[in-house]
Amino acid sequence: MKKITTFEDKKILVLGLARSGMAAALVLHELGAIVTVNDGKPFEENKEAQILLEEGVKVITGSHPLDLLDEDFALMVKNPGIRYDNPMVERAEALKIPIITEVELAYLISEAPIIGITGTNGKTTTTTLIADILNAAGQSAKLSGNIGFPASEVAEKATASDTLVMELSSFQLMGIDRFRPKIALITNLFSAHLDYHGSQEAYEAAKWRIQENMLADDFLILNFNQEKCRALADKTKAQVVPFSSTQKVDGAYVQEGKIYFKEELIMEVSELSLPGEHNLENALAAIVAAKLQGADKAAIVSVLSNFAGVKHRLQYLGEIDGRKVYNDSKATNILATQKALSGFDNRKLWLLAGGLDRGNGFESLEADLADLKGMVAFGQTAPKLRATAEKLNIPVFDSENVATALVEVLPQTVAGDTILLSPACASWDQYKTFEERGDLFIETFEKLKK
């Protein structure tokens, strides 16, 4: 890490802990800052705060006292999930205390170049693909950021011979100042997080900040399948390299079932391991980033043809007696399940769906369920899903949960069929998280596979 003196002897407040807050506090402490951490969780339940106190960092837990900000702080490092209308944040703004998120700190200390990935959908899959390809090509790529590895923690250990492949949320990007990736990528822009940002325009503006410090020798990768992304191409100083599955572009594109990068044939679309139009876009985006970073064709083909998917995101688990099984527990809404269904032949597909009932119906899913071989419904929404399936003359039965659903659907299937867990609902009726739901499904699959 760069031994910068920017924060030496400066009073800095880290607001909100979890992994990223703890990482930021430790890095700042090492850089000689006078760090105070403020977190709402009580101290006796707060492992991170306990560790930081042992390291000599001042911690204030259990509440967010506004008078804490009277201590003349030079900077606030805010947890990305804390909104800007939070009283502590508003008070800091009123006092003109600069506010950043932990990814800005990561940039300032990183010796390694950064590939930054943002967008509404596909960030995690694309980020993982890029890192896997670079590593397969003999480079040293480190996953970081919103993908679950605190950016500053990874940057602290990285060297100039590494590459940080960093997933970035709109929340994180709102807290940057000098952050400048060598390569930036926007997968797509759809409606999301309006409760946080207040409007679609504000959300997209936050995403667009990824390129605000980029210069003419940097690269910005844009999805030319989307008109709104195409319209951004002349609004940046960076060199734009597009990708598209619908037209030939000066980047990665598809023609007659083949994938190209700037006229070079890369592979057949049919060779991609992950199904669906959205995963084709993810693959094209990853190809551009990998090529710009110097990866060879062999590494690209190897990863894209064997990639099993990110855990809980259309993750291919394997086969049970000739039945392919996919875990898409991350599909917590109808749109996500629609995207998953687009990659399969419904005539050989059994869908496992259900979960928390938010009061909505499933009418918008009906067109995507056409010709579905069968469905298993579970959770609070089981009656609604069953009614939807019966309306479409799809064989359907209820099951208790994701584990029993997999056990009970197998006798209904034949070799060559596919079983897809893509719930179209949140998990909170039966599970704490979609990860817990998916882990139970994986555990059940592993038992049945033996």
Q: What pLDDT, in 10s, does the model give residues 28-39?
A: 999 999 999 999
Phi, psi of 139 (to 5 degrees): -90, 175
Nearest to 37 by CA among 84, 81, 79: 79
Q: Are residues 17 and 80 in the same domain?
A: yes
Count Cβ atoms below 10 Å from residue 271 Cβ, excluding itself. 14
Cβ atoms within 10 Å, residue 279: 25
Percentage, residues of the chain above pLDDT 70: 100
| CATH code at position 37 | 3.40.50.720
Distance CA 194, CA 378 (A): 29
Give residue 450's pLDDT. 79
Task: Tell me if 189 sits within 8 A of 228, measured CB to CB.
Answer: yes
Q: Are strands 418-421 and 323-327 parallel, antiparallel or unpaired?
A: parallel
1 inside domain: no
pLDDT surpasses 90 at 207? yes
Residue linked to tokens 């496992």: 352
**pLDDT of amino acid 202:** 95
pLDDT in tens, 249-260: 999 999 999 999
Based on the fold, state whether residues 329 and 407 are members of the same structural domain.
Answer: yes
Pair 120, 57 in one domain: no
Residue 336 tokens read as 């996500």
- 56 pLDDT above the threshold of 90: yes
Q: What pLDDT shows up at residue 142? A: 97
Q: Alpha-carbon distance 200 to 175, whole Å?
A: 18
At 338 the pLDDT is 94
Q: What is the average pLDDT across 158-166?
A: 98
Average of per-residue pLDDT values in the chain: 96
- 163 with 230, same domain? yes
Predicted pLDDT of residue 220: 98
**Looking at 73, 100, 127, which one is the last position of a domain?**
100
Query: Cα dist. 250→233, 243, 261 in Å?
Result: 13, 8, 8
Same domain, 289 and 410: no
Give, in degrees to the nearest 5, the angle at Cα 63 between 18 and 23.
20
What tokens appear for 122 in the block?
């596909």
Query: For residue 331, what is the domain's CATH number?
Result: 3.90.190.20
**Taking Cα atoms as reference points, which of 85, 74, 87 lies closest to residue 14?**
74
CA–CA gap between residue 259 and residue 270 (Å, rounded): 10
Residue 230 placed within a domain: yes
Do residues 175 and 72 both lie within one domain? no
Which residues are CB-contacts of 82 (< 8 A; sequence separation ≥ 6)?
A: 15, 16, 88, 89
Residue 277 lies in a domain: yes
Shared domain for 110 and 95, answered yes or no, is no
Quick one: 61 and 153 in the same domain? no
Residues 434/312, Cβ–Cβ less than 8 Å: yes
In a domain? residue 4: no
Q: What is the mean pLDDT of residues 344-352?
A: 97
Give SS3 for 268: strand
Q: Which of 261, 289, 306 is the last residue of a domain?
A: 306
Q: 442 and 405 share a domain?
A: yes
Both 124 and 238 in one domain: the answer is yes
Domain that holds residue 109: 103-306
pLDDT tens-digit profile of 74-119?
Answer: 999 999 999 999 999 999 999 999 999 999 999 999 999 999 999 9
Helix (H, G, I), strand (E, B) or coil at 258: strand
Q: What confidence score (pLDDT) does residue 33 get?
A: 97
| Nearest CA among 262, 298, 241, 272 for reference residue 125 | 272
- If asked whether residues 130 and 217 sit together in one domain, one would say yes
What pLDDT does 195 receive?
84
Domain stop point among 262, 289, 306: 306
Q: What is the distance between the alpha carbons of residues 107 and 175, in angstroms, rounded to a whole number? A: 12
Decide if 2 is inside a domain: no
Distance of CA 386 to the CA centre of its chain: 31
Query: How wide is the angle at C-alpha 200 spanned by C-alphas 239 and 101, nearest 5°?
Result: 65
Residue 401, pLDDT score = 97
DSSP, res 242: E
Provide mean pLDDT across the span 266-280. 94
**Cα angle for residues 141, 127, 302 (degrees, 5° grid):** 70
Domain presence at residue 5: no
Taking the C-alpha atoms of residue 19 and residue 340, their distance in angstroms, rounded to an integer, is 30
Query: Is residue 397 included in any domain, yes or no?
Result: yes
pLDDT in tens, 319-336: 999 999 999 999 999 988
Q: Order of strands across the sheet with 315-320?
A: 315-320, 323-327, 418-421, 349-354, 374-378, 396-398
Amino acid in position 124: T
Are 74 and 123 in a shared domain?
no
Q: Indicate if the pLDDT at residue 191 is higher than 90.
A: no
Assess contact for 303 and 141: CB atoms under 8 A: no
pLDDT band at 370 (very low <50, low <70, confident <90, very high): very high
CATH number for the domain spanning 230: value is 3.40.1190.10
Q: How many domains does one find in the chain?
A: 3
pLDDT tier, 271 (very low <50, low <70, confident <90, very high otherwise): very high
